[in-house]
Amino acid sequence: MRRAHLMMQLEQVGPSGHALAMSLLGNTDDAADVLQDAVATVLNVRSFDASKGTFKAWFLAVVRNRCIDVMRQRRRRPEVDIESVDTAAEADDDPEAVAASDEMAHIVKRELAQLSPEHREILILREFLDLGYAEIGKVLDVPPGTVMSRLHRARSALADRVRSYG
């Protein structure tokens, strides 16, 4: 029954894990592999230790660690373009999507994909997944003060890029 309970908790946080993996890897296949691994890890753990924070923060930290493994592997394999790690999450230029969303949203989407993985992930954690600073700190394994300054730098970097469109 422990497993059934874990599965239920997983169902709730899974899509967030995918959002984080996509923001870091920018590739559906890699994100799926990472999530597959993360699910296996979670199901192998005896019980979730609540002193580590929320289940969501813990799961996202597992996902993030796997993503970092994948990014390191890509860097080790020279045939893979390192730049693709940073730009792979580039927004689709599907003309219909462009027309449907407003231009600002399109610019923000494209510029978000151009940020460093460090900045992109913290923006995803905050703006997409609605995590508080304490929870983000658990995911990234940094103190809340660092979360605040890093998030501020990430927003500033994105604002600078968007501003250049005037």
Partner 1 sequence: MDDDCASVDELLSGYLDGELTQKDRQRVDRHIEGCSKCTARLRELESISTSVGKLRADMNQEDREQWRKVMDNALERTASGIGWVLVVGAVFVLVGYAGYEFLLADVEPPLVKWAVGALYLGLAVLLLSVLRQRLKARKTDRYKDVEI
* List of residues contacting partner 1 (CB under 8 A): 10-11, 14-19, 22, 28, 31-32, 35-37, 39-41, 45, 58, 61-62, 65, 101, 104-105, 108-109, 112, 123, 126-128, 132-133, 144, 148-149, 151-152, 155-156, 158-159, 162-163
At closest approach, how far in Å is the CB of 29 from partner 1? 10
- Contact between 21 and 68 (Cβ < 8 Å): no
Tell me how far, at minimum, the Cβ of 161 lies from partner 1, in Å: 10
* Shortest Å distance, C-beta 13 to partner 1: 9
Phi, psi of 129, rounded to the nearest 5 degrees = -100, 0
Q: Pseudo-torsion of CA 164, 136, 46, 9, nearest 10°? A: -70
Nearer residue to partner 1 within complex by CB, 87 or 128? 128
Cβ closest to partner 1, residue 45 vs residue 99: 45
Query: Which is nearer to partner 1, 36 or 116 (by Cβ)?
Result: 36
**Among 32, 16, 19, 49, which Cα is nearest to 120's?**
19
> Do residues 86 and 117 touch, judged by C-beta distance below 8 A?
yes
Judge whether 128 and 19 are in contact, CB under 8 Å.
yes
Backbone angles phi, psi at 114, to 5 degrees: -90, -10
Radius of gyration of the chain (CA): 17
Task: Tell the smallest beta-carbon distance from residue 84 to partner 1 (Å).
Answer: 19
Shortest gap between Cβ of 80 and partner 1 (angstroms)? 19
Helical H runs in 115-143? 117-123, 133-140
Of 12 and 80, CB closest to partner 1? 12
* CB of 116 or CB of 149, closer to partner 1: 149
